[in-house]
Amino acid sequence: MIDRSEQSLAKLLGLVLLVVLVAGTVQLTIGVTAAVLQPDTPWLSSKINAVLGDLLTLLIAVEVLQNVTSYLRRHVVQIELVLLTAMTAVARKVIVLPPGAENKPELLGGLGIAVLALAAAFWLVRSVNIRQPPARTGPAIRSPEQDP
């Protein structure tokens, strides 16, 4: 019952995320199209940062949807994919830093440490997976010897 509930919840979350992705893509497309049709749009200002931020947000949402889809198909959480999603999120934060962020050394240092920690974790997981692939590739099977 717990497995079925978990699967149903994951499917619902995937569906909600898909709706959000479609709505966000439509909204971004309309916004960029409207900006392109206006010849006086200042693309080399905060406008391009906003568009890049929105694009990367949609990319992160696609990666989260891949995480959910992977879980539904294989019944395992792919740590590499989770780490890549986290790295994309930190990269998005770095790319869309507002003007004046260079005056906040704690923020820049924290983002640098986050990038290094995520990269090290990804390298570690990747190197372990290359040496020995994950053992669990499917759902757990109940043993007939287990107590009811």
- Is position 54 within any domain? yes
pLDDT for the residue 145: 56
Mean pLDDT, contiguous 10-residue spans, the chain (148 residues): 77 86 89 80 71 86 84 77 88 81 84 91 86 59 53
Domain range for 10: 2-131
With H, G, I as helix, E, B as strand and everything else as coil, classify residue 118: helix
Torsion angle, alpha carbons of 127, 128, 132, 134, to 10: -120
pLDDT for the residue 68: 82
pLDDT for the residue 116: 92
- Is position 137 within any domain? no
- Total number of domains in the chain: 1
pLDDT for the residue 14: 82
Distance CA 15, CA 6 (A): 14
